[in-house]
């Protein structure tokens, strides 16, 4: 089995990573047929956990954003509307729905405000932890909703968590750089900071008869913010190499010219090949290269989600990029997890490019790059900022003293979950309970079984929980229909196959019973006594089964080659 996590080469210093996830996020649903599916975040988290990335970073469940915190950017009336409207009373708010653009792309669904609170809370707390030097990289895949405006929902986005996170960063940082690699233009963030030089927005997106219709090359900002908004319009089907040829030179020049003290990177995955709404042709590694390049500048970095509508590709890419943030590269073989059937038929992590035509000619890309860099030169270097006292916010109390309520916790209860989630395993720190599945011990009932298994070249799959153990599995949300996932067992020889069957049986018996026994119905409490004749019949049947098994075993090691296809 390949290694699940491989340390990155050339990693000079390890980053402290804060990863935000709220288990409630996967329970929200935009409605039948809607392409935005919050389940994708839970799918990504399942990969993150089963790869073992939780050992490399701190995991937090952020405090949901309050109405007061949302009104730092959004209007009071709009936030109040979002907090009041529900599917049951929406007919009483027809006029308001039209006013705030809620109804079609942005439907009303159960728990709408709670969904917005979770998304915004993770981005704001991630920004706050970066500002206080509690981490180097903060990750919130539930964020990145870049289309929401001050008083308007847009493009599946209701509350602009990115703007709220940047506002938090601006309390401590003189200049913040925002980079957007979503297939759609980051219009909500650009509009929010269009007149200021304290935030530079750089967006790489599809332009031309495509939502939201903004992000032209000539849109560079106004007033004090002129030339601090950069847009790189792309055409359909851009490849990894072409994307890299424009992304890296532009960002390199932006870093040298603008010199930000913090970076926000929106990692929308609808720019990946095969996305249901996207039209670009990036592979997972081409997309992740942007994260790797931005990380190399060693600035406080806030990684956010965004678009992405082919769930199996979204979760793959974000899990891989979480690994890059933590300093490791995830192995190609996807570990067993609750969404395993979504990743068939190859069950591999990579998202490959397709053979679609790249309409971005070298001449076009060179011309656009030249104009973008010329606009950047007009900005004239990093602007000076007059800093004042940092205003106090409610989030300050929570971060300055996270244990302020510990006196009210019952000492007889188990340790609070926030302490368990925030624990990061130090390198080289392992215990017997934590290294199951590592170092060749995966799925062995006894440690000495490894020697026989390794000698025979066998490859065992455990019979524990997960999709492989289910006879049939209902699909989660929109995705493949419920079906049985075939377990593919690769063997190097027929002898290894026979040995593996014996090992599997012994492992099952050591674990306390076979799969057949586990699937058997429970015995009634008031069972009739068994007669002696029934016992004798059972014994005879057992002897027959043993003889048959011995004959089958002889057939397994028969050297005669089989004519059947493997």
> What is the spatial distance between Cα 351 and Cα 334, in angstroms, rounded to a whole number?
12
Residues 6+ apart with CB under 8 A from 226: 220, 378
Which position among 74, 147, 184, 185 bears the catalytic label? 147
Strand partners of residue 292: none
Per-residue tokens: 210: 């495509």
> What is the spatial distance between Cα 227 and Cα 157, in angstroms, rounded to a whole number?
27
Short-list 289, 353, 356, 350, CA closest to 315: 350
> What is the spatial distance between Cα 202 and Cα 222, in angstroms, rounded to a whole number?
15
Q: Which is it for the CA torsion 156, 159, 162, 163, positive or negative?
A: positive
- Whether the Cβ atoms of residue 166 and residue 130 lie closer than 8 Å to each other: no
Question: Residues 278, 195, 82, 417: what is their CA dihedral angle, to the nearest 10 degrees?
Answer: 80
Residues 6+ apart with CB under 8 A from 52: 4, 5, 437, 438
- Whether the Cβ atoms of residue 138 and residue 160 lie closer than 8 Å to each other: no
Q: By three-state DSSP, how is residue 367 classified?
A: helix
- Whether the Cβ atoms of residue 120 and residue 148 lie closer than 8 Å to each other: no
Short-list 247, 209, 253, CA closest to 227: 253
> What is the spatial distance between Cα 464 and Cα 502, in angstroms, rounded to a whole number?
18
Distances (CA, A) of 374 to 217, 371, 378, 380, 454: 11, 5, 7, 11, 60
Strand partners of residue 265: 179, 303
> What is the spatial distance between Cα 140 and Cα 203, in angstroms, rounded to a whole number?
19
CA angle 14, 422, 167 (to 5 degrees): 75
> What is the spatial distance between Cα 439 and Cα 377, in angstroms, rounded to a whole number?
53
Q: Is 173 a catalytic residue?
A: no
Q: Which residues are catalytic?
A: 147
């Amino acid at each position: 089995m390949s290694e699940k996590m491989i340390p990155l080469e050339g990693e000079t210093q390890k980053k402290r990573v804060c990863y935000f996830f709220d288990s409630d996020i996967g329970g929200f649903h935009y409605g039948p047929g809607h392409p935005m599916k919050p389940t994708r975040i839970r799918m990504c988290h399942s990969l993150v956990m089963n790869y073992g990335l939780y050992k490399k970073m701190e995991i937090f469940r952020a405090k949901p954003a309050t109405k007061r915190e949302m009104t730092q950017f959004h209007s009071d009336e709009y936030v109040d509307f979002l907090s009041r409207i529900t599917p049951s009373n929406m007919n009483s708010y027809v006029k308001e729905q039209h006013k705030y653009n809620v109804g079609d792309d942005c439907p009303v669904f159960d728990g709408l405000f709670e969904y917005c609170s979770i998304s915004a809370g993770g981005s704001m707390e991630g920004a706050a932890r970066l500002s206080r030097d509690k981490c180097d990289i903060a990750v919130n895949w539930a964020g990145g909703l870049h289309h929401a405006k001050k008083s308007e929902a847009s493009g599946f986005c209701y509350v602009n968590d990115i703007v709220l996170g940047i506002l938090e960063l601006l309390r401590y940082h003189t200049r913040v750089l925002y980079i957007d690699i979503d297939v759609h233009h980051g219009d909500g963030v650009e509009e929010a900071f269009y007149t200021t030089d304290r935030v530079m927005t750089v967006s790489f997106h599809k332009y031309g008869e495509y939502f939201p219709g903004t992000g032209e090359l000539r849109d560079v900002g106004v007033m004090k913010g002129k030339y601090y908004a950069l847009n790189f319009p792309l055409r359909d089907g851009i490849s990894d190499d072409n994307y890299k040829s424009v992304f890296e030179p532009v960002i390199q020049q932006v870093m040298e010219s603008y010199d930000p003290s913090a970076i926000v990177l929106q990692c929308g995955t609808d720019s990946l090949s095969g996305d249901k709404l996207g039209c670009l042709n990036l592979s997972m590694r081409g997309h992740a290269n942007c994260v790797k390049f931005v990380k190399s500048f060693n600035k406080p970095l806030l990684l956010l989600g965004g678009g992405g509508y082919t769930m199996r590709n979204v979760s793959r890419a974000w899990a891989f990029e979480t690994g890059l943030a933590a300093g490791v590269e995830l192995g190609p073989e996807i570990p067993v997890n609750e969404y395993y059937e979504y990743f068939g038929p190859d069950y591999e992590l990579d998202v490959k490019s397709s053979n679609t035509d790249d309409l971005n000619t070298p001449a076009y890309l060179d011309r656009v790059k030249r104009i973008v860099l010329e606009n950047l030169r007009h900005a004239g270097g990093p602007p000076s900022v007059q800093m004042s006292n940092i205003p106090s916010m409610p989030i300050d109390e929570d971060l300055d003293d996270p244990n302020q309520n510990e006196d009210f916790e019952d000492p007889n209860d188990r340790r609070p979950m926030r302490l368990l989630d925030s624990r990061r395993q130090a390198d080289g720190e392992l215990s017997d309970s934590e290294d199951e599945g590592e170092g060749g011990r995966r799925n062995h009932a006894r440690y000495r079984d490894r020697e026989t298994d390794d000698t025979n070249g066998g490859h065992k799959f455990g019979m524990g929980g997960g999709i492989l153990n289910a006879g049939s599995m209902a699909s989660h949300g929109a995705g493949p229909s419920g079906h049985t996932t075939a377990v593919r067992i690769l063997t190097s020889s027929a002898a290894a196959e026979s040995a593996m069957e014996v090992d599997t049986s012994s492992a099952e018996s050591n674990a306390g019973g076979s799969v057949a026994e586990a699937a058997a119905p429970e015995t009634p409490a008031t069972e009739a006594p068994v007669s002696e004749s029934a016992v004798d019949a059972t014994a005879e049947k057992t002897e027959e089964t043993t003889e048959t098994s011995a004959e089958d075993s002889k057939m397994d090691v028969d050297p005669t080659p089989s004519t059947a296809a493997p």
